[in-house]
Structure 1
Amino acid sequence: MLKLYGFHTSHYFNMVKLALLEKGFEFEEVHSYPSREPLFLTMSPMGEVPFLEAREGFISDVPVIMEFLEEIIPEVPLLPEDVFERAKVRELMSILLQHIEQPVSRLLDHPDSKGSPDQARVDQVIVEVERGLDALARLARFDPYLCGKEFSYADVIAYHALDLVNSTMKKFAPWTAMDEMTDLADWRYTVAARPIVHQMDNTLISERDTFSADS
């Protein structure tokens, strides 16, 4: 059985978890946090989560894990059969992770002494994220999913990345870019209505409520 290492409030962890559930895998969740301990680095070379344990060994990096899952169960595809269309899904995955999600992560990883990023950093991130969103808007079909009529890994990544991006940007700056994208709102509603996504969202809400009550 596969094992997924990470923690429930990690959007990266939840991307992989949703992919596993959508493809019908049986898997075990192993609660863990990033670490630089030597033993941990033998499982995750960068010391990051999530990572996946298979019979043959360990795999890290979200897109790499998703490609691995696709190879194991191609009968439940989250990538199109057509080679060009597969590339377009990967293109959107790259934009979402590298040009929308990653810039925003700099606002969380490098706060100043007051616990907030400086305004210059915020302004730079705004420019980068809006460029990424502009690219997303040009590439996405919203028919009803990002890459057409079939749910794909691009939707998996976007569903868990974009909410974090939106909520984070609103903490540090006046931010309406995503609220004004009506196609994006309709897309999110469609994804949230999928049975597995709906069930997973309810589980996450319950887990977060339990964590808040215990802390």
Structure 2
Amino acid sequence: MNRLFHLPLSPFSRKIRIVLGEKKVSGVDLVEERPWERRMDFLLLSPAGQVPVLQLNGTTLSDSTAIFEYLEETIPEPRLLPRDPAQRAEARRLAAWFDIKFQREVTENLLQERVNKKLMKSGYPDGARIRAGSANIKYHLDYMGWLLERRHWLAGEALTIADISAAAHLSCLDYINDVDWGRNAAVKDWYARIKSRPSFRPLLNDTVPGFTVPSHYANLDF
């Protein structure tokens, strides 16, 4: 059985779901996993206790970067890393930017405080962290806008893992209405293009009990 252990508002889970969609991998069942519950059966699959975990054709893979690299090597088309080494390095740099820097400065502050604490029943949101995340996201949106004024996609002229990583994070924050899409027209246009892709649309059907999505969330044209 092919399965993806995921959490609906985990950007790392969403990244792999988009990659699977882009590469047209079908027949993968989604299994919602709450990592903080520390299920032993799940920890045997993911010693780090993190989602996503992909079981595909008898192989079990954890860590979203490792999963992506495996899929890129075993299902090479369509390519999500450029052929040119310098462009490939740029795509990897930007993917890491979102998965490390954006995650630390924005996603952890906003998603953890507004959503995960409630799901985990682990206390009240920390206002200081929310203010920090709200301030930090402005810098990241401005940087994205700077890139997109010079390129069709974040890393160049074709969709890459950089765009997928960025969109995975922003889509989680958009679910809780924490993205100012009016800040930069280039970023809004870029997100509308990604949101309209068939690989992305299943994410727009995700629901998390206790949270109401903004009216524009699933609207492909905002």
TM-score (norm 2): 0.74
Structure having the higher helix fraction is 1
Bigger shift: 34-43 or 19-28? 34-43
Once the 2 structures are TM-superposed, how far is the Cα of residue 101 of structure 1 from its aligned partner? 3.2
User: What 5-or-longer segments of structure 2 have no aligned partner?
Assistant: 211-222
| 1:92–1:136 contact (8 Å) kept in structure 2 | no
Question: Residues 66-96 of structure 1, C-alpha deviation per residue, up to 9 Å, x if partnerless?
Answer: 1111000113211111111011111111122
Question: Residues 119-178 of structure 1, C-alpha deviation per residue, up to 9 Å, x if partnerless?
Answer: x333433444334334433444564322233111122222221133356574xxxx74x4
1:48 aligns with 50
**More contact order relative to length (CA 8 Å, sep ≥ 6):** 2
* Bigger Rg, structure 1 or 2: 1
The answer as to 2:96 corresponding to 1:94 is yes
Q: Secondary structure at the match of 1:195?
A: coil
The root-mean-square deviation of aligned C-alpha atoms, in Å, is 3.1
Number of corresponding residues:
201
Q: 1:32 to 1:159 in 2, by over 3 A?
A: same
| 2:21–2:198 contact (8 Å) kept in structure 1 | no
1:136 aligns with 144
Once the 2 structures are TM-superposed, how far is the Cα of residue 183 of structure 1 from its aligned partner? 0.4
2:132 aligns with 124
The answer as to 2:167 corresponding to 1:159 is yes
Partners of 2:110 and 2:193 lie apart in 1 by 29
Percent identity over the alignment is: 26
1:185 aligns with 188
| 1:99–1:129 contact (8 Å) kept in structure 2 | no
User: What 5-or-longer segments of structure 1 have no aligned partner?
Assistant: none
